[in-house]
Structure 1
């Protein structure tokens, strides 16, 4: 026993060390952030609140509580916790109790046939001395897997939140496009009426009327087409909220409130090394590597014998009334040392399997980090380019609108053809829609950048996952 306790500190297999990465000291791309931006992402707030949109805030709160993928991740985390608890239980002895009564007939040459009753009660205990650390490595594996599942829960939450935010912002941009086309249809209707009156007065050609009507009907068709995009986005939001599409609707922006409530926040990216602590998918991959490392120790412990200590005690007698008397007392102590002498190479194969699994987990971890760096760089680059493009596009919109007004005035004065009006109106509409589309791309890319940098999540949130999982279970 003393020897077992002395050897209890030994654990075969490599101790885990986080895989080393050669990370850059800064990102290649720098964000186009402006001092006048109204929102600021920081670790003390829920990131979506930086967009200053109360409807978006409410939708994400609903998704946090009702999204089925988040509930699945919560259930998987509770399952991982239970698995870790099972592994930890092996550190302690197992204790059982038994009670029995038998009636048996015996035959002997001297006493003849005899019918007798036997009664027994007792306790028994068994404990595997973890000399080589097999159990402790199993506990390490279970704990690391549980932490990986907690990080996976964080990744699921962040993914759902980001997807919902992007869908919502795209829907609002679609509302802006619908408002643009509604105003355009109204303007084209006036132009059509103008050409019709001038044709009736004999100062315009029939082709002018046809061109004006063609332009009007085309704008009406494009306005109707936007409904398909909006409906699909609304359906996607409903599913993210855990609702059937028929049970959810989102009021559109009207011409009286067409200004987009959401605004671009300032997003601090930090350093590339921050991603190791701020992205849940990277934390998940790192913890899975730790779990795979512990499995190597479990596999190598199979090369060594196992020592099991057993103890039992109780009472056994032929009379129930005298069962607990001293003569009926029984006890036993023992130990078993068992080892596999030949297994056809199975243990060696399991060790190779565990080592390969660890190597694969390390590669997955490093690739996840590289993917995270790429996502940050991609979205930083996208936002920088879109910021420059939107500034130029705003100038193009102003120029196109001026050209449209001048062409219409010239047509009314009879100094140009209606074809010039049609051309300038089409150019103005195209540029205005491009400007709205650029705004939508900027908002979607900003959400993608927030997700790429972790959305305020840190590895410290792993310790909070148990509370979140418990609340998720209670809410089901």
Structure 2
């Protein structure tokens, strides 16, 4: 086969991730041999049965995944199309024609009285004034020989394309699963925010009672009562508003599992606890664990094979053809006396076309180089995404620890100012400020916990989830064989077995 054989280009990978050098992130460690995420449901590391049940439906019902599955099947059919060119094309035909020759015509010449043309013979003159029928049945074979490997390079390209499509399918699944996990944890965070607002409103209600009592005995102004009421009502309104976020996130989850929003109802569970421990792969293994990297690598082989297809145009096309048949005056003229056949071979070489072939080779070569650059950029982006999420987890864990300490101090401050306010030693403004600071600290801590879960999901996605490139279809798996069985349309009932009768049909 003409053209370059594919050799993966080198990619420089660091020995370690920057965030893990000398100081592993708490709860995360470098993966040892045989110590990696299961090649399966990665989301089980969170230990959440509700999330497990939702994630299991993505691969089955998500319509974006379903479309990617059909794209994969389309890629497999392209391999069959390319393979078909390796075989000869055989056609069969049957034709009939009727012909009438006038009495004054012999072989198309007018017969003058007493002066017949030289070609007139008794045999053809006997057809004058008669209608004759000729029946022909024949078969034709045409075979373009793949001497230079043009067709085989096309098959190689299409086979790599199937693997690209398979990796794209896995990447679509991973993206949908990660989006579902992120939406799920965001919804739980929204439920926690509503609970926090409701608890805060309850504390503000208690504060309002204290202010009213102080107002009744003349130790507080009416403005203090109004301020306490405003604080309570505003917090209750915020709690109500969280219902919009909770509902919309639930709708997004329903869409991701391929259901209408009316078909899904989730429990009102909040976001608690921390993110799970997870082994982090060394950078080199990241090239095997991400489906988008695998797709970019397979794309290079797909484009590399097309260079050979373009180079094959410099060589002559060699075609063999054969015809065999029968012709006669009866409807089935199958008789050795009526047979005819022919064999032919054709070698065709284009001598001049204004540089078209060299332009096509240059274009294919440039496209391959473009795919190499895209592959290397995909690898760099993968390293960046992992580093980003490792940094986010490390910093946000430190932030959450500091915010939890701030909450403890803020609660003490609120209790202190309320006691001081009861005895008239401080103005109500000090209580309002302290309570606002407590709520802000609690809300910020919740947001940081939410961001931690989001970063953990993003890190798992950046590491490829539970996927690795051993799941790519082999060349044999990427090439579906021709089947004489009819293809059953999606959703159609299976065909009946021999001797089986259809019963109890409403039709």
Q: Taking structure 1 as the reference length, what is the TM-score of the superposition?
A: 0.89
Give the whole-Å Cα distance in 2 for the aligned partners of 1:390 and 1:92.
Answer: 67
- Aligned partner of 2:409 in structure 1 is 399
Matched, 1:78 2:73: yes
- Aligned partner of 1:25 in structure 2 is 15
Cα distance, 1:335 vs structure 2: 1.1
Cα distance, 1:224 vs structure 2: 2.5
Give the whole-Å Cα distance in 2 for the aligned partners of 1:139 and 1:200.
Answer: 90
Consecutive unaligned residues in structure 1, runs of 5 or more: 1-10
Give the whole-Å Cα distance in 2 for the aligned partners of 1:266 and 1:409.
Answer: 43
CA pair 224-200 structure 1, distance change in 2 beyond 3 A: same
Cα deviation 1:347-404 (Å, max 9, x = unaligned): 1111111111111111111111111111011001111111111111111111111222
- Aligned partner of 1:274 in structure 2 is 285
Contact 1:51 1:263 in 2 (8 A): no
Give the whole-Å Cα distance in 2 for the aligned partners of 1:217 and 1:368.
Answer: 51
Q: After alignment, is 304-313 or 177-186 more displaced? A: 304-313
Cα distance, 1:246 vs structure 2: 4.6
CA pair 57-41 structure 1, distance change in 2 beyond 3 A: farther
Matched, 1:243 2:254: no
Cα distance, 1:475 vs structure 2: 6.6
Give the whole-Å Cα distance in 2 for the aligned partners of 1:43 and 1:475.
Answer: 33
Give the whole-Å Cα distance in 2 for the aligned partners of 1:259 and 1:436.
Answer: 8
Cα deviation 1:27-86 (Å, max 9, x = unaligned): 1112523389xxx97124401121112222222222222222111111111111111110
CA pair 357-44 structure 1, distance change in 2 beyond 3 A: closer
Secondary structure, aligned partner of 1:220: helix
Cα distance, 1:424 vs structure 2: 1.5
Cα deviation 1:279-325 (Å, max 9, x = unaligned): 1111111111111111111111011101111223233322346x222
Give the whole-Å Cα distance in 1 for the aligned partners of 2:419 and 2:28.
Answer: 41
- Aligned partner of 1:418 in structure 2 is 428
Consecutive unaligned residues in structure 2, runs of 5 or more: 30-34, 108-119, 481-488, 493-507
Cα distance, 1:187 vs structure 2: 0.9
Secondary structure, aligned partner of 1:308: strand
- Aligned partner of 1:3 in structure 2 is none
CA pair 191-12 structure 1, distance change in 2 beyond 3 A: same
Matched, 1:140 2:140: no
Cα distance, 1:205 vs structure 2: 2.5
Cα distance, 1:233 vs structure 2: 1.8
Cα distance, 1:235 vs structure 2: 2.7
CA pair 259-67 structure 1, distance change in 2 beyond 3 A: closer
Q: Which has the larger radius of gyration?
A: 2
Cα distance, 1:331 vs structure 2: 2.6
How do 1:434-445 and structure 2 match up within 5 A? Answer: 434-445=444-455
Give the whole-Å Cα distance in 2 for the aligned partners of 1:187 and 1:41.
Answer: 47
Cα distance, 1:451 vs structure 2: 0.6
Cα deviation 1:147-174 (Å, max 9, x = unaligned): 1011111111111111111011111001
Give the whole-Å Cα distance in 2 for the aligned partners of 1:138 and 1:418.
Answer: 81
Matched, 1:180 2:196: yes
Q: Taking structure 2 as the reference length, what is the TM-score of the superposition?
A: 0.84
1:58 to 53, 70, 86: 53
2:179 to 160, 163, 175: 163
- Aligned partner of 2:249 in structure 1 is 233
Cα distance, 1:326 vs structure 2: 1.9
Secondary structure, aligned partner of 1:302: helix
Matched, 1:151 2:178: no
Cα distance, 1:259 vs structure 2: 5.9
Q: After alignment, is 117-126 or 147-156 more displaced? A: 117-126
Matched, 1:206 2:217: no
Matched, 1:343 2:359: no
Give the whole-Å Cα distance in 2 for the aligned partners of 1:324 and 1:288.
Answer: 53
Cα distance, 1:474 vs structure 2: 4.8
Secondary structure, aligned partner of 2:57: helix
Give the whole-Å Cα distance in 1 for the aligned partners of 2:13 and 2:100.
Answer: 80
Matched, 1:117 2:117: no
- Aligned partner of 1:195 in structure 2 is 211
Contact 1:52 1:263 in 2 (8 A): no
Cα distance, 1:263 vs structure 2: 5.0
- Aligned partner of 1:13 in structure 2 is 3
Contact 1:314 1:331 in 2 (8 A): yes
- Aligned partner of 1:287 in structure 2 is 298
Q: After alignment, is 392-401 or 323-332 more displaced? A: 323-332
- Aligned partner of 1:7 in structure 2 is none
Cα distance, 1:197 vs structure 2: 1.7
- Aligned partner of 2:438 in structure 1 is 428
Contact 1:296 1:354 in 2 (8 A): yes
2:240 to 204, 217, 224: 224
Contact 1:41 1:266 in 2 (8 A): no
Q: After alignment, is 458-467 or 389-398 more displaced? A: 458-467
1:384 to 394, 397, 401: 394
- Over the aligned positions, Cα root-mean-square deviation in angstroms equals 2.4
Give the whole-Å Cα distance in 2 for the aligned partners of 1:464 and 1:188.
Answer: 65
Contact 1:165 1:447 in 2 (8 A): yes
CA pair 184-464 structure 1, distance change in 2 beyond 3 A: farther
